[in-house]
Homo-oligomer: A and B are copies of this chain.
């Protein structure tokens, strides 16, 4: 498959919680030459194993205080992704998943407040054909939000 070895897994383990770690520091941790490590990192990027380096910003600081999950029921037949394609482009929708059971999409939505959520639902979701109903769950408090993966010791 992707031919990912234990050194690669170590690189991922180190980089996952600290994307701005210098290549030199990474090399020191691994006991390897910086250039060798850098080449591995570039390959992980090229293969799409490293998808992106992102900065986690405190949502409060930029006035995105409300988090909610919206279940969206579609009328379109399975395999039809027209609704999803439109929802995908809404920037307030951080995540969009197709879920099992009910023929539903689940969206993770971040807005300034309840008012702007309502506006979003009315102005944007309301205009998408094929949405039958929505069910919104408001988050009162986030206890944990770390999108870190458990990286196994080997594969």
Interface, chain A (partner B; CB < 8 A): 2, 4, 9, 12, 15-20, 47-59, 61-64, 67, 69, 81, 84, 87-88, 91-101, 105-106, 110, 137-152, 155
On whether the beta carbons of B48 and A152 are closer than 8 Å, the reply is no
On whether the beta carbons of A137 and B19 are closer than 8 Å, the reply is no
Given A19-B19, A56-B50, also A95-B145 (CB < 8 A): yes
Q: Which single member of B50, B61, B139 contacts A98 (CB below 8 Å)?
A: B139
> Can you list 27 A-B pairs, Cβ within 8 angstroms, ordered by A?
A4-B62, A16-B55, A16-B57, A18-B54, A19-B20, A20-B53, A47-B61, A49-B58, A50-B57, A53-B53, A53-B56, A54-B54, A56-B147, A62-B152, A63-B155, A69-B69, A95-B142, A96-B142, A96-B143, A96-B144, A97-B141, A97-B143, A99-B138, A99-B139, A99-B140, A100-B139, A106-B139
On whether the beta carbons of B50 and A84 are closer than 8 Å, the reply is no
20 extra A-B contacts, CB within 8 A, seeds A50-B57, A106-B139? A18-B52, A47-B61, A52-B55, A53-B53, A53-B54, A54-B55, A54-B148, A56-B147, A57-B149, A57-B151, A62-B151, A64-B149, A69-B99, A94-B144, A94-B148, A95-B145, A97-B142, A98-B141, A99-B139, A106-B137
Q: Given the complex of chains A and B, what is the CA–CA distance between A98 and B98 in angstroms?
A: 22
Given A64-B149, A94-B146, also A54-B57 (CB < 8 A): no
